[in-house]
Chain A
Amino acid sequence: AAGVIQSPRHLIKEKRETATLKCYPIPRHDTVYWYQQGPGQDPQFLISFYEKMQSDKGSIPDRFSAQQFSDYHSELNMSSLELGDSALYFCASSWTSGGGRDEQFFGPGTRLTVL
């Protein structure tokens, strides 16, 4: 079965650089979520999109932005990177229109290291 695809899997950036993380949801899934997991931490919700519109916003810094495109893939754009942005970034997708029982399927994550 198809799973959530995230690219790249690993990314190394310098401070103050920008980064773009991509997420390709499971086919037919209409909702995408982004989570950030710092070292030794639990995943923290950043932002979500339903049918290409932002549906919820969590602890996402103003330096970050995201969008969902017409093909339902999503991109997380991160600017002015800081050392503290080093983390594992997860994307998850679900089929919200399927009736509310939206189980989130997680991708393998993108490990971002900021030097």
Chain B
Amino acid sequence: AQSVTQPDIHITVSEGASLELRCNYSYGATPYLFWYVQSPGQGLQLLLKYFSGDTLVQGIKGFEAEFKRSQSSFNLRKPSVHWSDAAEYFCAVGGTGANNLFFGTGTRLTVIP
């Protein structure tokens, strides 16, 4: 069965500090992996995606994520967090064709000055 686990419900970091949000997935086929960000009351914005190839993918706003098949993980990282990064972050997994996405429960990021 498909599932996504985001172990950290809430993370607080200081502005300028580095960030890593964890994501583990379970998927029966070759997974397509995504990270989305959602500000309060807003829609979902795609940060980055992994389909194949280089396991380190770069996204928007300075984010990157690394796909590790052996660990079934797709952790999101940013070297220096900005106050505007405070939001909810969702990891999602999907497959080929018209397949729906399975989302993790999200990690809420708080950034303190």
Contacts and interface: CB of A to CB of B under 8 A. Distances in A.
B22 to A, nearest CB: 15
Interface residues of B, number: 24
A104 B43 contact: no
A42 B103 contact: yes
Interface of B: 32, 34, 36, 41-46, 49, 51, 90, 94, 96-106
Contacts, number: 59
Contacts of B97: 96, 100, 102
Given A42-B90, A42-B103, A48 B44 contact: no
Contacts of A101: 32, 51, 96
Interface of A: 31, 33, 35, 41-45, 48, 50, 55-56, 58, 90, 92, 94, 96, 100-109, 111
Nearest to A53: B98
13 contacts: A42-B105, A45-B100, A45-B101, A45-B102, A48-B98, A50-B98, A58-B100, A90-B44, A94-B98, A101-B96, A103-B34, A107-B43, A111-B41
Nearest to A101: B51
A58 to B, nearest CB: 6
B43 A90 contact: yes
Contacts of B44: 43, 90, 106
Contacts of B32: 101
A4 B96 CA distance: 21
A94 B49 CA distance: 14
Contacts of B94: 104
Interface-centre pick from B94, B99, B105 (highest chain A CB count, 10 A): B99
B99 A56 contact: yes
Nearest to A99: B96
Contacts of A31: 98
B103 A43 contact: yes
A39 B108 CA distance: 13
A108 B45 CA distance: 9
Contact of B104 (A42, A55, A104, A109): A42
A24 to B, nearest CB: 14
